[in-house]
């Protein structure tokens, strides 16, 4: 990496006296990064299976991911309140169909669906528990074992 004195990797944040807060925060941030990168890699492999190069796909996926990031404040509010059922824009029943379609299309196009299969399992678990009309933010409850 070229030396650049103006290069900044991030900010420091005091999270409290318990060192576990910093350690788990670090792992959680890495989890978000790997999830984002994994999603991008899976999407690029899927697009590539029909002839897109990564550079051709980038102008489609980059603004899409940026737009999807704007949902995070709403998801944070739903997660903290535990209310995944209010003002639902895109319910889990509909999202689950899309997820299952991605898994099936991946298989049929020779792309390993391993990245998407855990999300599909969590969605099916929530649907089976009767939460199909909730927002997809409710997947966190399945992750928490609820």
* Mean pLDDT (whole number) for 62-81: 97
Q: For residue 56, is pLDDT > 80?
A: yes
* Mean pLDDT (whole number) for 30-40: 97
Q: For residue 5, is pLDDT > 90?
A: no
pLDDT for res 7: 67
Q: For residue 70, is pLDDT > 60?
A: yes
C-alpha separations of 76 from 66, 69, 137 in Å:
17, 12, 8
* Mean pLDDT (whole number) for 104-124: 98
pLDDT for res 10: 74
Q: What are 122's two structure tokens?
A: 């969590």
Q: For residue 12, is pLDDT > 90?
A: no
Q: For residue 15, is pLDDT > 90?
A: no
More reliable by pLDDT, 49 or 6: 49
Token pair 């739903």: residue: 78
Q: What are 103's two structure tokens?
A: 């898994």
Taking alpha carbons only, the member of 82, 102, 98, 81 closest to residue 90 is 98
> Is residue 134 within 8 Å of 79, Cβ to Cβ?
no
pLDDT for res 14: 87
pLDDT > 70: what percent of the chain?
95
Q: For residue 92, is pLDDT > 60?
A: yes
Position 115 confidence tier, pLDDT thresholds 50, 70, 90:
very high
Can you tell me the distance from the alpha carbon of 30 to that of 130, in angstroms, rounded to the nearest whole number? Answer: 31
């Amino acid at each position: 990496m070229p030396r650049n004195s103006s290069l900044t990797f991030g900010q420091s944040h005091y999270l409290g006296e318990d060192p576990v807060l910093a350690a788990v925060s670090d792992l959680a941030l890495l989890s978000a990064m790997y999830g984002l990168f994994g999603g991008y890699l899976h999407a690029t492999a899927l697009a590539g299976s029909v002839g897109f190069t990564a550079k051709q796909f980038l102008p489609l996926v980059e603004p899409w991911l940026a737009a999807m990031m704007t949902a995070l404040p709403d998801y944070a509010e739903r997660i903290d309140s535990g209310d995944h059922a209010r003002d639902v824009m895109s319910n889990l029943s509909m999202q689950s169909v899309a997820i299952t379609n991605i898994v099936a299309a991946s298989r049929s196009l020779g792309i390993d669906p391993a990245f998407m299969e855990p999300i599909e399992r969590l969605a099916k678990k929530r649907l089976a528990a009767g939460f199909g009309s909730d927002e997809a933010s409710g997947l966190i409850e399945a992750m928490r074992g609820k």
